[in-house]
Amino acid sequence: MSRTSALVELNKDIMHLADKSVWRVAPGHLSRIAEWAPGVEVTVEKSDNAMWQYKLTVPGSTGLVSATPSSGKLVLGSSMRDVMTADEMYHATQG
């Protein structure tokens, strides 16, 4: 099962999606997200990888990106607010 959400912000290896989920991208996959821009639709799917539990893709991009849920804090500019972790958001949308 997969779900899709728009990219809000990309800060080095941390990706924030519109559904308020936050992801840490695998270091070896950072070059794959270099062309991803805010607003692009990101598909999130569960992975079989124990360390990087999810795979993220964008239509027309250069393959999948391995990621793991990051902290439950979303930082946009100078504001910080509590949000659901990526894992909580994924499971909430699957029920």
Q: What is the mean pLDDT of the segment spanning 31-51?
A: 92
Least confident of 13-22, 33-42, 58-67: 58-67
pTM for this prediction: 0.72
Instruction: Answer yes or no: are the C-beta atoms of 43 and 4 closer than 8 Å.
Output: yes
Res. 58 pLDDT band, cuts 50 70 90: very high
Bridge partners, 25 (sequence order): 67
Phi, psi of 94 (to 5 degrees): -90, -15
Asked if 9 and 76 touch (Cβ cutoff 8 Å), the reply is yes
Q: pLDDT-derived band of residue 92, with 50, 70 and 90 as boundaries? A: low
DSSP symbol at 83: -
* 3-state DSSP assignment of residue 44: strand
